[in-house]
Amino acid sequence: MQAAKQPSKITVSDQGTLQVPDVPIIPFIEGDGIGQDIWPATRLVIDQSVQAAYGAERRIEWRELLVGEKGFHETGQWLSDEALETIRTHVVAIKGPMTTPVGSGIRSLNVAIRQKLDLYACVRPVAYIDPVPSPLKTPEKIDMVVFRENTEDLYAGIEWQAGSAEADQVIDFLNTRMGTALGPETGIGIKPISAVNTKRLVAMAIAYAIEHDRASVTLMHKGNIMKYTEGAFARWGYAVAAERFADRTITEAELWDRYDGRRPEGKVIIKDRIADMLFQQVLLRPDEFDVIATPNLNGDYISDALAAQVGGLGMAPGANIGDGCAVFEATHGTAPKYAGQDKVNPGSLILSGAMMLEHMGWHEAATALRKALQATIKDGLVTYDLARQMPGAKEVKCSAFAEAIVERLG
């Protein structure tokens, strides 16, 4: 009889590729609020998708991390160094939504995890799943992936309250040394955007576009106003395309000057759009955009807006990815008023699980999961948020939705 395979960690090779064993140990954070409902549903679907794709050859060994409210109640810490180190050494992790503790010195647990682990790219694929309700006439044209810079911009959290000694010092410096005319009761925030962080984010977006045969990468920015931060983001984005991907990319100007607007096979078009213009264009001409690379705040806005066009955050997956590790997550909040009611839609976390499987190279399981989820929705078995918008649909509980997906994995 063949010995049972022992669980072991995922590792990263010297070339930066993942080495995934047949039984990887994957840390998970249940999440606060509705995490207690959507995580068990997600775990069931992921485990059964792996079994459907690989039988007894592969499985996941889950390891819980006590982070968030559960961590605080059991250990007195919202986010321990041990939990962060476990994610770092296990390379891949998944988490439910987490609350932001009040008065603890942590602005956001989500932001803290991203910054402490240097998960510099928030990756949010947005694609329509028929027949999820959408406010658009042609939602099937939406198939984009947002790469949002995660570590700087206004999310760096460098700010001072109006009237504080720190704010007054900064105001005095700006007024006396830099020629501004700020009033005394002014809150101050700093918006850092750097070449190194911009280039690594855009490089990841371009590499993704090349690997997945995407037509274009659009640099989203407000450089017409913020010329030395967001304008620089666009310039550095073009620069890294030329420096690292010259043989695989062309600019939009080159597309028209040299190719009469017809994309050469194997080339990715690098273009840029002013942020407010892009919000309009993803509504009017969504099929013209494939991958969007953006600074932090713009990325927060555009990814949620795109999610609304394909059914809301309940169906929007996401991941935070760095060079060393990745954390896959629900993109919505904790919804504490629904906690423990077995009511809410687990779709966001389930689809994030599919992203995780794909990241691991387990493409067959990821494909099986997505197809089974879509089949469940097509059969009209959905949670309350979708049922109230889908005439003739049957409303089911969170756990029953997961069970229905499992039934369709065959």
334 is in an annotated binding site: yes
Provide the sign of the torsion angle of the four alpha carbons 294, 297, 303, 305, taken in this order: negative
191 is in an annotated binding site: no
Q: Which residues contact 254 (CB under 8 A, 6 or more apart)?
A: none
75 is in an annotated binding site: no
- End-to-end Cα, the chain, rounded Å: 28
Inter-axis angle of helices 347-359 and 363-378, to 10 degrees? 160
Task: Please state, in angstroms and rounded to a whole number, the distance separating the CA atoms of residues 124 and 274.
Answer: 20
Provide the sign of the torsion angle of the four alpha carbons 43, 50, 126, 238, taken in this order: positive
333 is in an annotated binding site: yes
In total, the chain counts a number of residues equal to 410
- With contact defined as beta carbons under 8 Å apart, do 47 and 62 qualify? no
Task: Please state, in angstroms and rounded to a whole number, the distance separating the CA atoms of residues 363 and 149.
Answer: 26
345 is in an annotated binding site: yes
99 is in an annotated binding site: yes
Q: Tell me, what DSSP letter sits at residue 184? A: S
Provide the sign of the torsion angle of the four alpha carbons 48, 54, 56, 57, taken in this order: negative
33 is in an annotated binding site: no
Residue 144, both tokens: 């984009």
Backbone angles phi, psi at 228, to 5 degrees: -100, 0
Residue 302, both tokens: 């555009």
273 is in an annotated binding site: no
88 is in an annotated binding site: no
**Rounded (5°) CA angle 308-313-316:** 100
Q: How many CA atoms lie within 13 A of 131 on its CB side?
A: 10
337 is in an annotated binding site: yes
Q: Which residues contact 277 (CB under 8 A, 6 or more apart)?
A: none
Inter-axis angle of helices 398-407 and 347-359, to 10 degrees? 40
- With contact defined as beta carbons under 8 Å apart, do 142 and 399 qualify? no
110 is in an annotated binding site: yes
235 is in an annotated binding site: no
263 is in an annotated binding site: no
Positions marked active-site: 155, 222, 276, 300
257 is in an annotated binding site: no
Q: How distant, in Å, are the alpha carbons of 182, 234, 292 from that of 214?
A: 46, 19, 11
335 is in an annotated binding site: yes
Q: Which residues contact 2 (CB under 8 A, 6 or more apart)?
A: none
Residues that constitute the known binding site for NADP(+): 99, 332-338, 345, 384, 388
Residues that constitute the known binding site for Mg(2+): 300
Residues that constitute the known binding site: 99, 108, 110, 114, 124, 148, 300, 332-338, 345, 384, 388
Residues that constitute the known binding site for D-threo-isocitrate: 108, 110, 114, 124, 148
